[in-house]
Amino acid sequence: VMFESFNVPSLFVSNQAVLSLYASGRTTGMVLDAGHGVTYTVPIYEGFALSHAINRVDVGGGDVTNYLRLLLRRGGYNLETSAGLETVRRMKETVCEVSQQPLMEHKATVTKPYVLPDGTVIETALERFQAPEVLFDPWLVGVEGPGVHHSVFSSVSKCDLDLRKTLLRQIVLAGGSTLFSGFGDRLLSDLRRLAGGGSKIRISAPPERKYSGWIGGSILASLASFKTMWVSAEEYAEHGPQLLHTKMF
């Protein structure tokens, strides 16, 4: 499509998680990429994604938004229109946090107000902790799959023994759905519980991680060696579509 419809002069395709890892200045690590509709855990070694150990969970920021809207509806706030859904999305990004303790132990002091465009004030309490919990417990929204902590640990466990320690020490967060306050601390706590007390775990959470893929792509494209990696229109015309698979994957 890119060559035949858009007539691009050259093309290179790369794994988004690999680009996110490049953005953090690494070539080896474990990338947790949580976007709007899906979450991936991708172990990467020397710039190559280990495809046999990649995990996917069909839950993301959109599910958090929908669950928050459901919780608000139970509390008496009707935000069922498309404009209401956009309001809930902004509310999610403003007030939601990932809990570091059992939800029922939170006190009334966790209430946080959110002012709607019409001036109405919504007092959010447990809802702002319950909604992001979807990422750690997808069953809350009826999705059969592990939480992000289990997915990371599963991906690491599928890799060679001598690589596991390295991956646990170089976990990189990417995607807008990892931006919740407390997300990194909760993930670290849960991974320590899964991996055991003797494992050293480090999590990198770049502040610009919502755009890590784009940043990594710009870094890759700026390398002097990049010109030998792409497929030109002339090469495509000579060798056909199969060249994309042999040169890039």
pTM: 0.90
Rounded Cα gap, residues 137 and 232, in angstroms: 45
Nearest to 186 by CA among 127, 135, 126, 131: 135
| pLDDT one digit per residue (tens) for the chain, 249 residues | 788 888 888 888 889 999 999 999 999 999 999 999 999 999 999 999 999 999 999 999 999 999 999 999 998 888 889 989 999 999 999 999 998 876 655 655 578 889 988 888 998 888 999 999 999 999 999 999 999 999 999 999 999 999 999 999 999 999 999 999 999 999 999 999 999 878 899 999 999 999 999 999 999 989 888 888 888 889 888 888 888 777 765
Rounded Cα gap, residues 47 and 227, in angstroms: 17
Rounded Cα gap, residues 69 and 43, in angstroms: 34
CA distances from 1 to 46, 111, 213, 240 (A): 30, 51, 22, 12
